[in-house]
Amino acid sequence: MLTLKTINDNPEAVILKLAKKHFDAKELVYKVLDEDKRRKETQSELDGLLSEVNSKSKSIGALMKEGKKEEAETERNFVQELKVRIQSLEANLKEAERELQELLVLLPNIPSDEVPEGRVAEDNVIEKTGGIVPQLEEGAVPHWDLAKKYDLIDFELGVKISGAGFPVYKGKGARLQRALINFFLDKAREAGYLEVQPPYVVNAASGYGTGQLPDKEGQMYHATADDLYLIPTAEVPVTNIYRDTILEEKDLPIKNTAYSACFRREAGSYGKDVRGLNRLHQFDKVEIVRIDTPEHSYESLKEMVAYVESLVTELELPWRILRLCGGDMSFTSALTFDFEVFSAAQQRWLEVSSVSNFESYQANRLKCRYRTTDKKTQLVHTLNGSALALPRIVAALLENNQKSDGIHIPKALVPYTGFDIID
C-alpha cells in the first residue's frame, strides 16, 4: 500500500498519478488525510496524558515522603481519572489506526512515469518483438485437437475428476510439462536465482502482504474451514518469506525462483479465448522474485525482462514484449511488461508472462525493510515475473511445431523430454 508520507507530502500528485490507472482517488485520499489527522491528534493527546500520569506519579511519591497524605490522595484520585481517559484514548487510537488501514488498502499503487496512457489492452505499447512466425502445413489444427490426436491432454477426464479448467496431462504431454518445469528452474538457477519450494496454501496475512487481499479474493480458492487460500502464483508465498523482516543492504538483491501449481477461479471467463489451455483454473508456473533497493530496482526489472526474453528465444517461439498502459495494469504494480507468444494455429498472441516492479507498495504491507550502511532502515522494492507460465507455452509449442510426421520438440528441450518428436 502507499505510505502515509507519500500521501501527506503531495495528495494532489497522488490523485493525478492514480488517474493514469483510471482510478478516481480524490475522495479516498482526503478521507485518508482526515483519518490520519484524527489519529495524530489522538496520539498527541494520549502522549500528553501519559506524560502527565508519569509526572503525577513521581509527585505522589514525594508528597508521601513529606507526610502530605491528603494531598497525595487527591493526586492519586486525579491520576485514576487520567487513566480512565487514557483507556478511552487508547481505544480511539486503535480504532483510528484500523480505519486508516482499511482506507489505505483501497488505494492502488502509483504507476511509474514510464507507464503509457491508455485504458484497455489495445493501448499497450509494443516494446520489442522477436522470433519467426512459422508457416504451418496444410491441415494444421489448434492445440486442443493435437492434444486429442496424440493423447497428450485429456480435458474431458479433468471435467469428470474436478470440473472444467483442470486438465489431465498424459504420456508425452505429462513429460513435456515436467521437462518445461525443470528447464525453467535450471535456467533460473543458472541466472543466480535461489530455488525454493513454497507451500501451495497461504494464510490471509500472506494474501494481504502481496496485495491479493482484499483486491482479488473473488479470484482465489478459499478453504473456509481453515481460512487458507490456494495460491494464484508462487509470488505470494515466496515474497512473504520476507514479511516482517529487516534485511541488510549487503545481502540485496535477493533472487528467488519457485515452481508451483497455481489456482485461479477465473470467474466470468468464457468464450473461444478460454478453450483448451488458453485459460485454466489450475496450471503450472515457474516464478522469479527479487527484493532490491529503490535505487537499483528498475535495473533489476530490465534484467528480469531480458531473462524472460532469453527463455522464449531458446524455445524458438515468436514473441513480443508489451509495456502495459495505466488502464491495463494490476492494482499493485508500478510498471509491468507482458510477454506474448504467437500461436500460429489460432492466429493470435497468447500472454505467457508478466514482469513487474511494485516499488515499495508490497513492502509497506509486508513490513519488509532493509538496513542501509549508515544503519538507517527503509522499505525495499519487490519485483516478480513469470518465467514462465506453462499452459500457453505448451499450446504454442504444440501448434507452431506441428508437421506431417508429428510435433517437433525445440532443441533446448530435448535433453529434458528425452524425445525430439511427438508422433
Q: Is 41 marked within a binding site?
A: no
Residues 170, 373 contacting (CB under 8 angstroms): no
Q: Is 266 marked within a binding site?
A: yes
Task: Please name the residue that has the C-alpha cell 490520519.
Answer: 36
CA distance 140 to 146: 9
Q: How many CA atoms, within 13 angstroms, populate the side-chain half-sphere of residue 145?
A: 8
Q: Is 384 marked within a binding site?
A: yes
CA distance 332 to 352: 19
Phi, psi of 162 (to 5 degrees): -130, -45
What one-character-per-residue DSSP string does 126-172 give?
EEEEES----PPTT---HHHHHHHTT-EEHHHHHHHT-TT--EE-HH
Q: Is 353 marked within a binding site?
A: yes
CA distance 367 to 243: 6
Residues 153, 147 contacting (CB under 8 angstroms): yes
Identity at 6, one-letter amino acid code: T
* Of 3, 21, 19, 7, nearest in space to 336 by CA: 21
Mark 135-160 as b/e (b = at least 16 C-beta within 10 Å): ebeeebebbbebbeebebbbbeebee
Q: Is 351 marked within a binding site?
A: yes
Q: How many CA atoms, within 13 angstroms, populate the side-chain half-sphere of residue 119?
A: 2
Alpha carbon 345 to chain centroid distance?
32
Q: Is 333 marked within a binding site?
A: no
CA distance 47 to 223: 43
Q: In this structure, what C-alpha cell is assigned to residue 160?
A: 469428470
CA distance 397 to 314: 12
Q: Is 352 marked within a binding site?
A: yes
Q: Is 265 marked within a binding site?
A: yes
Q: Is 117 marked within a binding site?
A: no
Mark 241-260 as b/e (b = at least 16 C-beta within 10 Å): bbbeeebeeeebbbbbbbbb
Task: Please name the residue that has the C-alpha cell 518428436.
Answer: 421
Q: Please give the annotated binding residues for ATP, written as ranges.
A: 264-266, 351-354
Q: Please give the annotated binding residues, written as ranges.
A: 233, 264-266, 287, 351-354, 384
Q: Please give the annotated binding residues for L-serine, written as ranges.
A: 233, 264, 287, 384
